[in-house]
Amino acid sequence: MSKSTVRYVINPPTSFGHFITFLLSIAHPMDNHLWLLAPLLALCIMSVSSKVFVSIDCGASGSFIDENSIEWKGDNDLISSGVAHAVQPNYSVSRVMNTLRVFTTRKKNCYSIKVEEGEKVLVRAGFNYGNYDNKSAPPNFDLLFDGNFWITVNASELKIFEIVYVVKKKDISVCVAQTNPREFPFISTLEVRSLDSQLYSKFGTNHALLLQSRFGYALNQTIRFPLDPYDRMWVPARTTNLVHLTSDASIINVKVPDNPPQAVLKNAVATQNTSQFINLGFNVVDDPFRYPAYINWYFSEVRELNSSELRSFRIFKDNLPFSLPIVPRFGEVVEYFISNLSLTTETNFSLNPLDDSTLPPLINAAELFSIRDALSNGTNNNDVEGLASLQNAFIVLQQWSGDPCLPAPYSWEWIKCSGDYIPRVTSINLNGFNLTGPLPDFSKMDALETIDLHNNSLSGPIPKFLGTLPNLKQLNLSDNQFTGSIPRWLSRNSKLNSTYTGNPVLCVNGKSCPGSGNNKTPIILGVTIPTVFILAIAVVLVVRHRRRKASVPSHSGGTSSLSGGMQGTNKGVVELNRNSEERFYRSPTPLLSEG
C-alpha cells in the first residue's frame, strides 16, 4: 500500500443513494405526515440501490419484518450443519439476537450468498452467546470470509463485526472456525448489503475495511436503514463536557463520496468556547495497531452564521497540526479522511480552534476502519470446479462449503492443499465416506498427487481420465464395486502406486471379466459356432457327391469300336447321365424317366 493519504472533500458526484437520502430529508421529524414516506422509500432502496440486501436470523425458522422495515429470514434452508439454540431469557437482546446456530463438527462451517463478481458489499455478523448451554463458558473462535481471516471472536459479550470489500467471485462465504477443543463456534446474525462503488473507494479494491467504530455524535439512538440506505449502523458516541447541537437545516446536501445519512448530520457536539478543543478518542478498537487505519470525519454547520461569525478549526495529531483549516458549511457536509495511517497506543487526534475562529469546533460523525491484508484470490478455479463435480455426485460431500483450501489452517478435512498463493488441491482422501455410484469427471484437478477412494461402494468402470493426471503418485480404489478392466494408461504407469483389491468384478492381473462390458467370449462363440456348423454341412455334401460319382458304369473299351456316328450318340448318353446325376443332387426332376 502507498503512503498515508489525507484529503479534504466537499462536493463529489451524486448517486442514487444521495437521491434517496435527499428524499428522506424532506421528512423532517417535525413533519410527521412526510415520514409516512419511509416504508415506500425503504422498498425503493432495497430494490434499486442495493442489488443484495440479505438478513439472516441464524438458528431461527420462518421470517419477519423488524421495526426498521428489514425482512429477516431463518437459516434452516441455507445451511445443513449446526444446531439451533436460544439464549437464556435474562440474556435477551432482540428477536434476531435471541437465537443462534452452534457448530460442533468440522474445522469450519460456512454460509454462502450469491452476489455479482466485482460488487462492493458490506457484510455484518452478530454474536450473542447468551449462555445458551448453561455452562457460562463463552467460546473463542475465528471468523472468516471468502477464504480470508476476518477476526477472532471473543464471545464473552455481544459482538457485531462489519467488513467492506469488493468481491472477487460470484458468491461470498462467511465461516466460523473452531480454534480450541470443546469451544464450539456459533453465529446469531448475518447481513449482506450492496454498496455504491464510490463508497470507501480511497483504499483500492484488493483490501477489505474492518469497521472499528462508527459514531454519530449527539445521537440518542442508533441510526440505520431506512435512514441510511446502505444500512450502516451509526451508534451514539459517549461524550463528556460537550454541548449537544441540533441543525436548523431541513435539508443537508450529502454529496460527498461516502454519503453519510442526513439523520446523523442533524446532530453535532461542540465545546463550550473557543479556548477548548475536542478530543477525538476511539474507545472501541479491536486491532488498530497491527493494521493501518482509514478514518472519516464529517462536519456540518448547525445554523446560518452572520458575517461576523466564523467556525474554523484544524485536526491535530499528537498535538501537532495535521489538516488544512476546516470550515463547516450550513446545509452541507465536509468529509475529511485519512487513509493508510499507522496508529499506536499513543496516537491522539483532536479538533483545535484557529485563532480567528469566533465559534468553537464541532463534529457530527466519524468512522474508523482498519485496512486488512491483501485479499486472497481463493483456491485454483480448476480445483474448485473439480470438487464441485464431486459434491454434485455425492450428497454427503455437500456439507462442506466456503473456500476449500483457505485460510490454510481451515482447509476441508478430506483434501490437502499446496502452499502457493493460489493453492492447488494435491490430495483427496474419501476413505469410508459411503460413496455410491460412478465417479464424476474431475480431470481438471491436474495437481493431484494422491487419490484415496477405498472402502466405499463406487461402481461402473474406472474412469480413463485418472490415467491422464500428470502428477498422480498414489491411487487407492480398493474395496469398491468397480467393473471392467483397468485403463491402459493406469496399468502401464510405472510411477503410479495403485491398489485395486476388493473389487469383485474388476479385471485385475489377467483375471476374466464376468459381466463386464469388456468380455468378448459371447461374441467369439456367436461367430465360431455357426461357422463350424456350415463347414460341417459342406464336407458332408462333398463326400456324398464323390460317392455317387464313383457308382456310375465305365463306357471305355467296346464302345470304342463303334462307328463314328454311334460314338457321338454314346457321348450324348454319358453327358445325359452326368446331367441326371447333377440334377439328382440339385432337385428330383422328371428328367430321370427319360433314361
Q: Give the E-state strand segments of 375-472 in sequence order.
A: 415-417, 425-429, 436-437, 450-452, 457-461
Q: Please, what is the angle between helix 521-550 and helix 564-586, to 10°?
A: 150
| Section 514-521 average pLDDT | 48
Q: Who contacts 551 (Cβ-Cβ below 8 Å, separation ≥6)? A: none
DSSP annotation of 566:
H
Q: Which amino acid is at 158?
A: L
Q: Whole-prediction pTM value?
A: 0.79
Q: Which amino acid is at 59?
A: G
Given a cut of 70, is residue 510 above it in pLDDT?
no
Instruction: Identify the pLDDT of residue 202.
Output: 87
Per-residue pLDDT tens digits for 419-473: 999 999 999 999 999 999 999 999 999 999 999 999 999 999 999 999 999 999 9
Instruction: Identify the pLDDT of residue 287.
Output: 56
Q: Given strand 497-499, what is the order of strands in its sheet?
A: 415-417, 425-429, 450-452, 474-476, 497-499
| Section 474-500 average pLDDT | 94
Given a cut of 80, is residue 62 above it in pLDDT?
yes
| Section 526-552 average pLDDT | 59
Query: What is the rounded distance in angstroms from the CA atom of residue 73 to the CA atom of residue 468?
Result: 46
Superfamily of domain 5-373: Galactose-binding lectin (2.60.120.430)
Residue 278 binned pLDDT confidence (cut-offs 50, 70, 90): very high
Per-residue pLDDT tens digits for 171-186: 999 999 999 999 999 9
Residue 139 binned pLDDT confidence (cut-offs 50, 70, 90): very high
Q: Which fold has domain 381-507?
A: 3.80.10
Instruction: Identify the pLDDT of residue 357.
Output: 98
Given a cut of 80, is residue 245 above it in pLDDT?
yes
Boundaries of every domain in the chain: 5-373, 381-507
Instruction: Identify the pLDDT of residue 492.
Output: 87
Buried/exposed code over 111-136 (b: 16+ C-beta within 10 A; e: otherwise): bebebeeebbbbbbbbbbbbebeeee
| Section 256-263 average pLDDT | 96
| Section 244-261 average pLDDT | 96
Per-residue pLDDT tens digits for 16-36: 444 444 444 434 444 444 434
Least confident of 48-57, 346-355, 529-538: 529-538
Higher pLDDT, 17 or 548: 548
Q: Given CA atoms 245, 246, 251, 257 in this order, what sign does their dihedral have?
A: positive
Q: Is 54 exposed, middle or buried (0-12, 13-18, 19+ CB in 10 A)?
A: buried
DSSP states along 300-345:
-BSS---TT--B-EEEEETTEE-S--B---BTB-EEEEEEEE---T
Given a cut of 70, is residue 496 above it in pLDDT?
yes
Round the average pLDDT of the chain to a whole number and report it. Answer: 84
**CA distance to 161, 279, 352, 393, per residue, from 445 (Å):** 36, 57, 61, 16
